[in-house]
Amino acid sequence: MIKALSSLENKPKAYLFFCFLMQTGARPQAILSMKKVNVNLSNGVLMVQGLKKGMTYQATISGKILDLLTVRLAKLENNHYIFHPDNPKTNPEKQISYQSMRNQIQPVLDKMFNSAIDTSDRIHKVTFYTIRHSFATHLAQNPAVSVFDIKNLMGHNSLKMTERYAKTSLQEGTKKAIEDLFGVESI
């Protein structure tokens, strides 16, 4: 994904959007609907509108992404969308369409990851949602990260959904703890 990101450096809006996808795990449409008012630059917190059940949750950003966002937000008013159309006329009070952002990024993903995959193969094709799934999976593989934190970061209503996205196996420490429950060896 880092190579795909570097391929977008000459497209600042697509680059920042891709960074948001990678660092927040938010749904693409939720990112597109974000306004300046949804960002707290002092602590790197984004208020993300959950698209399912309409609940709002927090995501965090840091480092270079926070720096890029700070520059972008300096030009906007609170009610302006972070991602707005530039053509034919810049209008920050209108969000850019999903299709427009997809048209900028998907060709990069197709070239890097999907060239040998049938275009109708929705299971193996790398898309915006692949980045969301990768976010959850990578966090779930880190034993220092709680599945409850992942649930909150993903904006899930249930832990069951988080487990489905993460699709990870039990850590060795967990396997050992289960085997050692009540002093009983594996049966």
Query: Would residue 123 count as lying in a domain?
Result: yes
Kind and range of the H or E run holding 144: none
Query: Would residue 187 count as lying in a domain?
Result: no
User: Whole domain around residue 155: which residue ranges?
Assistant: 2-179
For residue 147, pLDDT over 50 is answered with: yes
Distance (Å, rounded) from C-alpha 109 to C-alpha 90?
A: 26
Query: Would residue 185 count as lying in a domain?
Result: no
Which tens digits make up the pLDDT trace of 11-43? 999 999 999 999 998 999 999 999 999 999 999
Query: Would residue 29 count as lying in a domain?
Result: yes
Total number of domains constituting the chain: 1
- CATH code for position 167: 1.10.443.10
Which tens digits make up the pLDDT trace of 48-102? 988 776 788 899 888 899 999 999 999 999 999 999 998 767 889 999 999 999 9
- pTM greater than 0.85 (yes/no): no
Distance (Å, rounded) from C-alpha 2 to C-alpha 66?
A: 17
Q: What is the pLDDT of residue 162?
A: 84
